[in-house]
A = this chain, B = another copy of it.
Amino acid sequence: MKLTKEQKLEIEDQQSQKNQTKRVTAPELEKILYEAIPILDHGFIRVVDYMGNDSSIVQAARVSYGKGTKKVSTDAGLIKYLMRHWHSTPFEMCEIKYHVKLPIFIARQWIRHRTANVNEYSARYSILDKEFYLPAPEHLAAQSKSNRQGRGNILEGEKAKEVLNILKNDAEQTYNNYQTMLNERYDGSIIDDKEDGLARELARMNLTLNTYTQWYWKTDLLNLMNFLRLRADHHAQYEIRAYADVMLDTVKKWVPITYEAFMDYRVGGTEVSSKGKTVIKKMIKGEKVSLDKSELSKREWNELMAAFDIKDKLE
């Protein structure tokens, strides 16, 4: 990730601010505020603003439950209770805003999370930078044989080289042709004074989906956790997980108590279906259980065994 001089200056300028406020703060998050944390080859994430901290969740819960919460003596106890019982509204009392630079095909996954506010760089107005995502060799994976949306082995040798060449050449060629059609270079200089350029809103259609875009993305803590639960999961595509992992770390700095509860009850937890419960109950009693009497499909059986580390995987 290379920041432009302009961007570096803006970040330094933002970080040099020392404002006084009566609002609550999150000291660990303040330390990395505005910082551009590199992700993938040209991407980054920056926390550019936030509102509230763990105490805001506690405060909202205490307003809701009134004197009813006095018995839960500690903040951590209360937050764990809220998380366990899906009392979700207090977590909506915290808000965070990120500045993200990411490839377009990842932006298209990301935007499916609708409960967020977004301001994206507009290629109708302005020219996109010449930056596109090329996977590092260790992420150049073959299609999984067993899982239609998954990855298999890492490609190696000639095949890997060929793929990287294609991605690089096609992105460069389409970008160069983008400039040609615009009759304008990414720095705003005109190519041929005597010609008109194609409208920006049209020329952009020639770019490939690994071109980088950027946006401001703002959401509340509850919806952020919903996002992270899906996108920091091992089923998520690696490229979006790379962002989610960094965001998880910002959550830890922002609301450390909530982070612990989230990791315990959501990320590290498991859901067990009604039929799955019947199987587990029998196993605990030491009874013999088998797939055919369980009413589970083979796939469900294997997922259940994996969740509880039981060596009973079926082929």
Residues of A within 8 A of B (CB): 14-15, 17-25, 30, 33-34, 49-52, 56, 59-61, 63-69, 71, 77, 80, 84-86, 89-90, 92-93, 95, 97, 99, 103-105, 107-108, 111-112, 114-115, 117-122, 124-127, 133, 135, 140-144, 148-153, 155, 159, 162-163, 166-167, 170-171, 173-174, 177, 180-182, 188, 195-202, 204-210, 214-216, 218, 220, 230, 235, 237, 263-265, 267-277, 280-281, 283-284, 286, 297, 300, 303, 307-310
Contacts and interface: CB of A to CB of B under 8 A. Distances in A.
A8 to B, nearest CB: 16
A111 B85 CA distance: 20
B66 A121 contact: yes
B268 A271 contact: no
B210 A208 contact: no
B198 A143 contact: yes
Contacts of A197: 142-143
Top 3 closest A-B pairs, CB basis?
A: A66-B126, A268-B274, A68-B125
A98 to B, nearest CB: 11
B159 A195 contact: yes
Contacts of A111: 108, 111-112
B273 A84 contact: yes
B122 A66 contact: yes
Contact of A119 (B90, B265, B271, B276): B90
Contacts of A34: 22
A113 to B, nearest CB: 10
Contact of A170 (B105, B173, B276): B173
A23 to B, nearest CB: 6
Contacts of A276: 269
A180 B166 CA distance: 9
A63 B149 contact: no
A110 to B, nearest CB: 11
Contact of A209 (B59, B93, B207, B272): B207
A254 to B, nearest CB: 12
A275 B280 contact: no
Contacts of A235: 85
Contacts of A80: 297
A35 to B, nearest CB: 10
A85 B125 CA distance: 15
A197 B159 CA distance: 9
A21 B21 contact: yes
A155 B198 contact: yes
